[in-house]
């Protein structure tokens, strides 16, 4: 994939951040190569690549809030039936386990994920397979399903993020 096609997939927000962080004056081939080189080597959460991914995440965060935050963040909206002894205990265990695997509370990079690229691929796979949100959650939260435009937006963000991390999605590898 050429540098020009990579940039065409980036959101205007990422381009603005790239211009600010790397001093890009134009989108010529030399500047595109600089963006690609910088995007291929993130080493810590403070990197500009992580900042760019997190900035773009803000556009899909409302989707994650609706579909994922009750189990994968500190922002759980407990329903009335959480007050029932057995149900509440089961929900608490499920939420504790969910946060241990993926914690979206503090935006990107996500907590509970050692390898951020691997975590992004896992999120995409879980959604593709219909594993997340869980069926039992969707049963009681009808609007939480991640389908259609919401799913496409999340997948586009994941694919862009993987490109910035110098990774590819599993579907690109096949």
Residue 129, pLDDT score: 86
- Residue partners of 98: CB distance under 8 A and separation at least 6: 71, 72
Crossing angle, helix 48-67 and helix 29-39, to 10 degrees? 70
- List per-residue pLDDT tens for the chain, 174 residues long: 444 444 344 334 333 333 333 332 333 333 333 334 333 434 454 478 899 999 999 999 999 998 888 889 999 888 898 899 898 888 898 889 988 999 999 999 999 998 999 999 999 998 898 788 777 777 777 677 777 899 899 999 999 999 999 876 555 444
Q: Are 166 and 35 in contact (CB under 8 A)?
A: no
The pLDDT of residue 87 is 87
CA distances from 102 to 95, 105, 111, 138 (A): 10, 9, 6, 18
Helix, coil or strand: residue 111: strand
Q: What is the DSSP string of 117-173?
A: HHHHHHHHHHHHTT-SS-HHHHHH-GGG---HHHHHHHHHHHHHHHHHTT---HHHH
Q: What is the DSSP letter of 114?
A: S
Q: b/e string for 3-30 if b means 16 or more Cβ within 10 A? A: beebbeebeeebeebbeeeeebeebeee
Cis peptide before 65 (omega within 30 of 0): no
């Amino acid at each position: 994939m050429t540098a020009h096609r990579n940039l065409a997939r980036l959101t205007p927000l990422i381009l603005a951040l790239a211009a600010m962080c790397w001093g890009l004056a134009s989108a010529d081939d030399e500047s595109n190569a600089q963006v690609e080189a910088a995007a291929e080597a993130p080493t810590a959460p403070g990197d500009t690549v992580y900042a760019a991914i997190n900035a773009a995440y803000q556009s899909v965060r409302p989707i994650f809030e609706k579909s994922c935050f009750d189990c994968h963040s500190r922002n759980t909206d407990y329903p009335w039936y959480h007050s029932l002894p057995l149900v509440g205990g089961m929900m608490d265990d499920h939420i504790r386990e969910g946060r241990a695997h993926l914690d979206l509370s503090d935006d990107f990079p996500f907590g509970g994920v050692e390898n951020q690229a691997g975590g992004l691929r896992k999120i995409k796979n879980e959604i593709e397979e219909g594993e997340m949100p869980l069926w039992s959650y969707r049963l009681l939260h009808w609007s939480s399903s991640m389908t259609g435009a919401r799913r496409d937006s999340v997948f586009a963000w994941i694919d862009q993020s993987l490109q910035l991390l110098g990774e590819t999605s599993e579907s690109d590898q096949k």
